[in-house]
Amino acid sequence: MHYHSSSRRACFGPAIEIRHRTGNDRAGSPYLHVSMKHSGCKTLAALLSPDSGHIMEEGGFVNWNRVLKIIAGLSAMLWAASVPVAAQGIPQPAPSRTARQSSVVDPTVAVRTEAAAWLADLIKINTSNPPGNEQPAATFISRLLQKEGIKAEVVDVAPGRSAVVARLRSSVVPEPSKALLLVAHLDTVPVDKSRWTVDPFGAVIKDGYMYGRGAIDDKGMLAANLAVFINLKRTNAHLNRDVIFLATADEEGSGDASIRTLIAKYWDKFAAGFAINEGGNVFVKKGKVQYIGVQASEKVAANIAVIARGTSGHASQPTKDNAVVHLAAAVAKIGTYTAPVHFTAIVRRYFEGIAPLEDDEISKWIRSMDTTDRGEHAQRVVSDASPLWNSMMRDTVAPTVLSAGVANNVIPAEARGNLNVRLLPGDPIGTVVNDLNKLVNDPAVKLEVQPNAGLAAPPSSLDSDFYNVICRVASREFGGAPALPFQSTWLTDSAQLRLHSVQAYGLVPFPLNDEDLRRMHGDDERIPLVAFDKGVDVLMKIVTEFAVTRY
Ligand SMILES: [Zn+2]
């Protein structure tokens, strides 16, 4: 077992036990009638532990009613809690109540509670890509929205593959350049079930986490977007711009069913000036939010085939022009390649912002990266300290697939490898190909750029009102942690939006530590329930501040 049980105390001030006075189903009334009373202080782990009897029914099924009650209680406590976010000070404790007092839970708290159940439902719909098969998830969402009185459209992009679009209008005449798009993708990467300790499509709750493929990437954000969108509708929010909900398909495959096709065919349905999507993160270090990375740009992916050719023959009589040997030597040389450092404006600002947050030693090297005398050494130290930092400041090349041979006793005529290249936006692939050709220096080996290369998009503005709102609200809500512009090394749907003049920003609003972030495309993906709840709340505040008119 490698789970880390949360031993931090979730109890700050009086513990609250919430009892529903009315029946409540997952998609129930936004108003939950509750009574609260003091109870013994329990740890979060104890509250959510399967052995506590709080959430498990006989037979091992999760009792969702109980889970939702617990989450509602946690939402209230979260303001004062440091679990696992350790908001650095500001949140106010929920007002304590005496026994027999009852009240109406704030509808925005209620919708956050429901959002956790929607996340569980979405995890249970397997949308592993390939093949994706997003249609059932799209239908689930559209039904949910219809039930709220929101017209939702399921848009088919390919057989079995669909997206969902819905709109809350601010006025009769739409103004696409002002509209705000809430984006998330329906598909997930596949799973290797044998390496998971729980059912990847079971939405199992354990030690305060919800486990499941997509829990973070990207069904967490999908459920959060749904909660925000539905809450705007339920509260009859006075919008100053249209808010559009978009659930995309094939994000993980970037293939024919992806946002490219959606934009090409259906742009008018969701044309917007601003978007919030995945791509950036709320980074937790040593139990508290270190910084908020707001993605405003991303690297560009391309693939290069490495092809070695030789003479085929009988394996009993090896020759010097064996294609496998030439490929292996070429890939070994490519493995040593280090592209020159090139700071984009966003990355420069990112490093300026992160330097004071790191320990003295690394901070000193980060600040020295631009100096003439120690710059090169500093860049090496910083690159070695973090693969993320290394990839943020240069083009990278990673060999990913090798293939050769048809039988154990046959020397093949050809051996192939794939290099996955991540370019800084604006860097030409030709430079990398030239560098690699010089490095390999073998006439038996050819490099061929593959046709599916991505397009570099212009970065989103770091001066827009929306960027400022995201930074201001997130920083305030996460205890004053700084919000830094972020250029992701990974790809998102935002690049396509930016190519269509959308000011798109990436922020998965859940505070997550490295351990949880690492599981995103790996085994036992999970999201801490308190982080989910906090993230939904923060996203709601960001959208409200940007799109709702106050009186
Ligand atoms: Zn994703």
pLDDT (tens digit, 9 = 90+) per residue, 473-514? 999 999 999 999 999 999 999 999 999 999 999 999 999 999
pLDDT level of residue 14 (50, 70, 90 thresholds): very low
321 and 416 belong to one structural domain = yes
For 264, which DSSP code? H
For residue 260, the SS3 value is helix
Q: Which amino acid, one-letter code, is at 463? A: D
Between the CA of 321 and the centroid of ligand 1 the distance, in Å, is 43
Q: What pLDDT does 71 receive? A: 52
> Is the distance from CB of 184 to CB of 270 less than 8 angstroms?
no
Residues 346 and 470 in one domain: no
Q: Is residue 455 part of a domain?
A: no
Do 435 and 409 sit in the same domain of this protein? yes
Domain C-terminal end among 110, 133, 164: 110
456, part of any domain: no
Q: Is the peptide bond before 131 cis (omega within 30 degrees of 0)?
A: yes
Asked, for residue 493, whether it belongs to a domain, the answer is: yes
Within this chain, do residues 191 and 243 fall inside the same structural domain, yes or no?
yes
Give the CATH number of the domain where residue 216 resides: 3.40.630.10
Which domain, by its residues, includes 102?
15-110
Please tell me the distance between residue 354's alpha carbon and the centre of ligand 1 in angstroms. Answer: 24
Domain end among 420, 449, 478: 449
Distance of CA 218 from the midpoint of ligand 1 (Å): 5
Contact in structure between 315 and 408 (CB atoms under 8 Å): yes
162-203: pLDDT as tens digits: 999 999 999 989 899 999 999 999 999 999 999 999 999 999
Q: Are residues 105 and 231 in the same domain?
A: no
Count up the domains in the chain and report the number. Answer: 3
Residues 21 and 146 in one domain: no
CATH of the domain at 335: 3.30.70.360
Q: What pTM, to 2 d.p., does this model score?
A: 0.81
- Of 110, 141, 156, at which residue does a domain stop? 110
- Do 532 and 396 share a structural domain? no
Chain centroid to CA 335: how far? Answer: 28
**Does residue 454 belong to any structural domain of this protein?**
no
Task: Report the alpha-carbon distance of residue 519 to residue 474 in Å, rounded.
Answer: 24
Q: How far apart are CA 399 and CA 445, in angstroms?
A: 15
138 and 262: one domain?
yes
Provide the terminal-to-terminal Cα distance of the chain, rounded to the nearest Å. Answer: 53
Distance in Å, CA 258 to ligand 1 centroid: 12
State whether 99 and 157 are in the same domain.
no
> What spacing in Å lies between the alpha carbon of 74 and ligand 1's midpoint?
27
What's the CA-to-centroid distance between 492 and ligand 1, angstroms?
Answer: 7
Instruction: Determine the distance separating the centroid of ligand 1 and the alpha carbon of 332, expressed in angstroms.
Output: 31
Gap from CA of 98 to ligand 1 centroid (Å): 44
CA distance 534 to 200: 23
The pLDDT of residue 205 is: 98
Cα separation, 243 vs 466, in Å, equals 13
pLDDT: is 249 or 31 the higher one?
Answer: 249
What is the C-alpha separation between 110 and 115, in angstroms, rounded?
A: 9
73: pLDDT strictly greater than 60: no
**CA–centroid distance, residue 420 to ligand 1 (Å):** 18
Asked if 51 and 164 sit in the same domain, the reply is no
* CA torsion through residues 192, 197, 202, 208, sign: negative
Least confident of 26-40, 293-307, 381-395, 463-477: 26-40
69 and 188 in a common domain: no
Say if 436 falls within a structural domain. yes
